[in-house]
Amino acid sequence: MRLDQVEGLVGAIGIIGIAVALVAIFWGLWLSLSRAPGRRTGSPGIMLNGMFYLVAGALYFGLCYVLWRPLPIDLGLWLRLFVLALGSALLFSGLILVTWGRFALGRMYNVSSGFGVQLYEDQRLVTEGPFAIVRHPMYLGILFVALGGYSFIGSGRSPSCLGTSRGLSGARGSRRRPSPWSSVSCGMSTSNASPH
C-alpha cells in the first residue's frame, strides 16, 4: 500500500470519527435542551436553543469547506511518515477524549458560555472517567483533533486534497485540468498530474 493510500485511509477514518463525535455531541445537546431546568446563572439566552447550534455548526463547517486552502509544501518521505504518525495519534486520541468525555457526562451534558449556564434540578459535578484525569477532557480532545487535522494539512495531504487532485480533477481520462492549488499541495505536477 502506498503512502498516499495510507494517508487517504487515515483521513477517511478520521472524518468518520469526527462525524460520530459530532453526532454524540449534538444528540446530547438535544437531550439536554429537553430536560427540566433548574437554576440559571447569568443569561445564556440563545445558547439554550438547539436551532442555534444546528445553524452555527452548518455555517462553521460550510465556511471551513469553502475557505480551505492547502499549504503549498512538499515534505520528504520520512517527514511525511512522521507527520502522519503524529497527526494520527493526536487526531484519534482527541476523538477518544471528546467522545469519552461526552458519554461520561451522560445526563449532565449541557452547554455553557461566558454569558451563563442553565443547570438541572439534579445537577452534579462529574468526576469519573476522563474527568478524573483532566478537568476539561472534551476541550483537550478538540485541541488534539485540531492539531492532528492540521498536521495532515501541513504535510500537504488531507481528505479534501485527495478528493480534489487525483480523484476529481487529475484522474486519467479526466477533461478537467487540475487546479494549481491542489496540484502543489498534493505533491502533484501540474503538467502531467503524476506523483513526485
- DSSP assignment string, 40-88: EEE--GGGG-HHHHHHHHHHHHHHHHHH---------HHHHHHHHHHHH
Confidence label for 71 from pLDDT (cuts 50, 70 and 90) = low
pLDDT tens per residue across span 109-140: 887 777 777 788 888 889 999 999 999 999 99
For residue 145, the enclosing domain spans 3-169+178-185
Residue 192 lies in a domain: no
Question: Residue 107 belongs to a domain with what CATH number?
Answer: 1.20.120
Residue 95 lies in a domain: yes
- Between CA 162 and CA 182 the distance in angstroms is 9
Confidence label for 158 from pLDDT (cuts 50, 70 and 90) = very low
Residue 157 lies in a domain: yes
Residue 191 lies in a domain: no
Residue 193 lies in a domain: no
Residue 149 lies in a domain: yes
In terms of average pLDDT, the best of 25-29, 79-83, 116-120, 139-143 is 139-143
Residue 195 lies in a domain: no
The count of structural domains within the chain is 1
- Mean confidence (pLDDT) of the chain: 74
Mean pLDDT of 54-65: 83
Say which residue, 118 or 193, is predicted with more confidence.
118
Phi, psi of 118 (to 5 degrees): -105, 120
pLDDT at residue 81 above 90?
Answer: no
SS3 label, residue 188: strand
